[in-house]
């Protein structure tokens, strides 16, 4: 179920994704928030870093762990402009992230050549019996519009 | 199907895992090899780095990408003392790793408190239609023995 501040934090992630696109990066952003405090907010840096693991969600988990000095991100909410891939979902699971709110679906990203590991969060959650609460399709159209602009459509 | 050099490289990964245990880390190691050259060989640094993503396989993907100056690890073989988790498997998939050879199974690791995302590589490969060739149970007993020593059993 969406919460009051979800729009605020998803817009931060969307703004960060736009910043990434302006810097020549892929159109994805994410932030991690605990008790209303933003612990990390990043855009996809796969191209900039030459690192396939530099998805914004995985980077945010790493940065938030550093920020808190803990590998336990219990109580944190992850806002992702696109549905996290299996790598990012699993990283969030290991870090005990409480909730994921995402915008576009992996199937949306596939229309733009992304989503090369097309396993939805709902499937991963079920397979791993993960306790993470997942809310999808949140400001989905804004995220799709960003991908469309990135693709020059 | 196992190849001639698999034992050599898996032993490197096992030795690295032992080095990690000696340094107070969790009992897992991995290396990435291309055309007989070791591009990366690391142990699990989750505790040392305070980073849930510092599994040896994910670290190896990152390091090998840096080493080659490319996000394409096509032709590379990943040797992992334990079956890669979904995070690491997906990172390998994105990097186009050609083959994964692993020792112990996730279900073995669960006996020691690991494997908190218990989705086997065979299931992930099928779900994502991943072309990665996966060879499991390779020197499995040596990897289990390492976990037993780590656990003081």
Question: Are A53 and B58 a contacting pair at CB < 8 A?
Answer: yes
This prediction's pTM = 0.97
Q: In 3D, which of A33, A50, A141, A133 has the Cα closest to residue A89?
A: A133
A interface residues, B as partner, C-beta within 8 Å: 46, 50-53, 58, 61-62, 65-66, 69-71, 85-91, 93-95, 116-119, 123-124, 127-128, 130
Contacting residues of B for A127, CB less than 8 Å apart = 119, 123
Contacting residues of A for B89, CB less than 8 Å apart = 86
Give residue B3's pLDDT.
Answer: 80
**Average pLDDT across chain A, whole number:** 96
pLDDT per residue over B58-111, tens digit each?
999 999 999 999 999 999 999 999 999 999 999 999 999 999 999 999 999 999
Which of the residues A57, A86, A88 would you substitute to probe the B interface, choosing the one with the greatest number of B C-beta atoms within 10 Å? A86
Give the residue carrying structure tokens 């530099």: A54
Contact, A55 vs A116, CB < 8 A?
Answer: no
| Chains A–B, number of C-beta pairs less than 8 Å apart | 96
Under DSSP, the state recorded for A70 is S
- Residue B1 clears pLDDT 80, i.e. is over it: no
Give residue B36's pLDDT.
Answer: 94
Question: Are B95 and A124 a contacting pair at CB < 8 A?
Answer: no
Give residue B153's pLDDT.
Answer: 82
Secondary structure of chain B as H, E, C letters: CCCCCHHHHHHHHHHHHHHHHHCCCCCCEEEEEECCEEEEEEECCHHHHCCCCCCHHHHHHHHHHHHHCCCCCCCEEEEEEECCCHHHHHHHHHCCCCEEEEEECHHHHHCCCCCCCCCCHHHHHHHHCCCCEEECCCCHHHHHHHHHHHCCC
Q: What is the ipTM of this complex?
A: 0.96
Which H helix or E strand runs over A29?
A: strand A29-34
pLDDT per residue over A67-91, tens digit each?
999 999 999 999 999 999 999 999 9
Check if A83 is active-site: no
Give residue A139's pLDDT.
Answer: 98
Give residue B147's pLDDT.
Answer: 97
**Average pLDDT across chain B, whole number:** 96
Name the more confident of B116 and A42.
A42
Nearest CA in chain A to B93: A117
């Amino acid at each position: 179920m969406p919460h009051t501040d979800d729009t605020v934090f998803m817009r931060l992630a969307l703004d960060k994704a736009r910043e990434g696109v302006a810097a020549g990066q892929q159109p994805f952003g994410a932030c991690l928030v605990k008790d209303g405090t933003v612990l990390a907010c990043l855009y996809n840096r796969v191209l900039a870093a030459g690192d396939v693991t530099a998805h914004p969600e995985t980077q945010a988990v790493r940065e938030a762990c550093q920020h808190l000095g803990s590998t336990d991100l219990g109580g944190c909410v992850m806002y992702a402009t696109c549905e996290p891939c299996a790598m990012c979902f699993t990283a969030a699971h290991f870090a005990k992230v409480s909730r994921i709110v995402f915008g576009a679906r992996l199937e949306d990203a596939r229309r733009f050549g992304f989503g090369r590991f097309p396993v939805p969060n709902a499937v991963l959650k079920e397979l791993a019996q993960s306790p993470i609460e997942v809310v999808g399709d949140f400001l989905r159209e804004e995220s799709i519009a960003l991908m469309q602009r990135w693709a020059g459509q």
